[in-house]
């Protein structure tokens, strides 16, 4: 009996040893073990980056990202492994990267990454490459070494830009923040992060769109169209080629406009039409510049002079970056004059109240109509008629 028992136990041990490469007796499978090891590798990599330990970072794989990110003031950085595909000594990992810039982001930015992994001679994984996942936008450090300049109320992150140029952006952004607060109020972060890539192509890569979509556009704010009301980490992304063509006032207007989008994000929802969000941002940006309607709305003014004044406020489609440039300019100018009219006739405080009331509706249908009645005491037809007369009076 004892001999048989020993033989049975030996058989179990042999069976257990036989299956170790596949499942491990009661332990993790080979795939699960690899996932655990890779996740730990990514955790060590994140800790080394946050701890400014390049040597430890290098032990986990390529150092390119570390060198490109060295100047960015990161408060958090973490990967969550979502998939792993192994072929011999090589593997491809899918991961969600979450990171937060200290003092600027209220919640982490999240983006999908694709990592290539290889086994070392002693059987450990290391990261050979870390790039954006398919259909994910690039991050600024994917485009090169990031330089950081801190302003009083801004953080400017650039690639391929001189320190002097980045300090100029910081000065303009620092001026924009209080200008926006004077118009909108102070219930927002009152800080702005500006990304300045090396080229138009770099800007398009950050936004995940073809360069042609932004040619002639000086800057955009991430997520400005159809916002969700949640504002973890807006970024102003500059097209350095178009921005360089602007004069001093134009450069300030652009950064103030984009900073307004950052400030108003929590009250900008799918209910907010683009004529209101873009028109309000322009109203804040032009406020105090001394620019007359004729100077600030040349394309709309030309249409009025030629008897082609629009009958209705622009639709969201009119604001598409791939629209005809003249049509796009007229859309922005029309929205600006609509907001300017509200400020002139009902008061600046009512303009802000109107903006918030539209966003609070939650859905597009009925949002503007309800806010017009509740805040301004008018109807859609009445408002449109007044706007039409106002445009003619200002530009005729």
State the pLDDT at residue 324.
86
The one-character DSSP state at 136 is P
Report the distance separating Cα 163 and Cα 135, nearest Å.
Answer: 32
**In CATH, what number does 27-136 get?**
3.10.450.50
Q: Find the mean pLDDT for residues 148-171.
A: 98
Q: Find the mean pLDDT for residues 194-218.
A: 95
Label residue 146 exposed, middle or buried (CB < 10 Å: 0-12, 13-18, 19+): buried
State the pLDDT at residue 238.
98
State the pLDDT at residue 2.
42
Residue 98 corresponds to which tokens in the numbers above? 């979450």
The one-character DSSP state at 216 is T
pLDDT, one tens digit per residue, over 49-80 is: 999 999 999 999 999 999 999 999 999 999 99
State the pLDDT at residue 322.
75
Question: Does the pLDDT value for residue 227 go beyond 50?
Answer: no
Q: Find the mean pLDDT for residues 196-216.
A: 95
pLDDT, one tens digit per residue, over 341-385 is: 999 999 999 999 999 999 999 899 999 999 999 999 999 999 999
Taking the C-alpha atoms of 202, 263, 326 and 288 in order, what is their torsion angle to the nearest 10 degrees?
-120
The one-character DSSP state at 140 is G
State the pLDDT at residue 106.
85
Q: What percentage of the chain has pLDDT greater than the value 90?
A: 85
Question: Residue 365 contacts by C-beta under 8 Å, 6 or more apart in sequence?
Answer: none
Dihedrals phi, psi of 309, to nearest 5 degrees: -60, 135
Q: Tell me the pairing of strands 109-119 and 90-101.
A: antiparallel
CATH topology for 138-260 is Zincin-like (3.30.2010)
State the pLDDT at residue 297.
98
Buried b (16+ CB within 10 A) or exposed e, 335-374: bbbbbbbbbeebebebbbbbbbbbbebeeeeebbeebbee
State the pLDDT at residue 69.
98
Nearest to 262 by CA among 177, 328, 375: 177
Report the distance separating Cα 83 and Cα 178, nearest Å.
Answer: 45
Domain ranges of the chain: 27-136, 138-260, 269-396
State the pLDDT at residue 194.
98
State the pLDDT at residue 32.
86
Nearest to 383 by CA among 334, 348, 326, 349: 334
Report the distance separating Cα 115 and Cα 126, nearest Å.
Answer: 10
Question: Does the pLDDT value for residue 37 go beyond 60?
Answer: yes
Confidence band for 18, pLDDT divided at 50, 70 and 90:
very low
State the pLDDT at residue 232.
58
Mean predicted lDDT score pLDDT of the chain? 91
More confident residue, 34 or 231: 34
Residue 349 corresponds to which tokens in the numbers above? 């405080």
Q: Yes or no: say if 190 and 177 are a contact pair by the CB < 8 Å rule.
A: yes
Residue 148: strand pairing partners: 157
pLDDT, one tens digit per residue, over 179-194 is: 999 999 999 999 999 9
Per-residue HEC secondary structure of 281-344 comes to HHHHHHCCCCCCHHHHCHHHHHHHHCCCCCCCCCCHHHHCCCCCHHHHHHHHHHHHHHHHHHHH
Q: What's the predicted TM-score (pTM) here?
A: 0.89
Confidence band for 27, pLDDT divided at 50, 70 and 90:
low
- H or E, element range at 11: helix 2-19
Report the distance separating Cα 271 and Cα 249, nearest Å.
Answer: 32
C-beta atoms surrounding 332 within 10 Å: 23
Which 3 state secondary structure label does DSSP give 241?
Answer: helix
Confidence band for 332, pLDDT divided at 50, 70 and 90:
very high
pLDDT, one tens digit per residue, over 104-141 is: 998 899 999 999 999 999 999 999 999 999 999 999 99
Question: Does the pLDDT value for residue 224 go beyond 50?
Answer: no
State the pLDDT at residue 22.
34
State the pLDDT at residue 66.
98
State the pLDDT at residue 223.
58
State the pLDDT at residue 3.
44
pLDDT, one tens digit per residue, over 257-278 is: 999 999 999 999 999 999 999 9
Confidence band for 25, pLDDT divided at 50, 70 and 90:
very low
Residue 365 corresponds to which tokens in the numbers above? 């249908």
State the pLDDT at residue 284.
98
């Amino acid at each position: 009996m004892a001999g048989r028992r020993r033989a049975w136990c030996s058989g179990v041990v042999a069976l257990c040893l036989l299956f170790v490469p596949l499942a491990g007796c009661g332990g993790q499978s080979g795939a699960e073990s690899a996932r655990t090891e890779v996740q730990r590798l990514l955790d060590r990599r994140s800790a080394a980056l946050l701890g400014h330990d390049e040597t430890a970072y290098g032990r986990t794989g390529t150092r390119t990202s570390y060198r490109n990110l060295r100047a960015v003031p990161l408060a958090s950085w973490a990967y969550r492994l979502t998939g792993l595909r192994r072929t011999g000594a090589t593997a491809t990992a899918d991961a969600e990267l979450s990171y937060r810039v200290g003092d600027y982001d209220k919640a982490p930015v999240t983006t999908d990454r694709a990592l290539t992994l290889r086994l070392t001679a002693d059987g450990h994984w290391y990261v050979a490459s870390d790039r954006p996942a398919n259909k994910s936008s690039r991050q600024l450090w994917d485009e090169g070494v990031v330089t950081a300049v801190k302003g009083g109320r801004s953080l400017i992150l650039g690639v391929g830009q001189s320190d002097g140029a980045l300090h100029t952006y910081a000065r303009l952004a620092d001026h924009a923040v209080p200008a926006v607060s004077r118009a909108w109020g102070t219930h927002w972060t009152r800080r702005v992060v500006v990304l300045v890539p090396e080229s138009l192509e770099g800007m398009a890569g950050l936004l995940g769109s073809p360069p042609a979509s932004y040619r002639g556009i000086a800057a955009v704010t991430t997520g400005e169209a159809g916002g969700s009301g949640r504002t973890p980490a807006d970024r102003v992304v500059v097209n350095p080629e178009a921005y360089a063509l602007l004069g001093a006032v134009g450069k300030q207007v652009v950064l103030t406009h984009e900073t307004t989008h950052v400030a108003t994000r929590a009250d900008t929802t799918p209910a907010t039409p683009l004529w209101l969000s873009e028109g309000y941002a322009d109203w804040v940006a032009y406020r105090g510049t001394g620019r007359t309607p004729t100077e600030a709305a040349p394309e709309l003014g030309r249409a009025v002079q030629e008897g082609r004044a629009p009958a209705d406020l622009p639709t969201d489609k009119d604001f598409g970056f791939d629209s005809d440039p003249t049509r796009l300019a007229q859309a922005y100018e029309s929205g600006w004059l609509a907001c300017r009219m509200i400020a002139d006739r009902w008061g600046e405080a009512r303009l802000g109240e109107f903006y918030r009331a539209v966003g609070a509706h939650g859905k597009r249908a009925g949002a503007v109509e309800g806010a017009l009645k509740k805040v301004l005491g008018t109807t859609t037809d009445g408002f449109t008629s007044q706007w039409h007369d106002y445009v003619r009076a200002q530009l005729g």
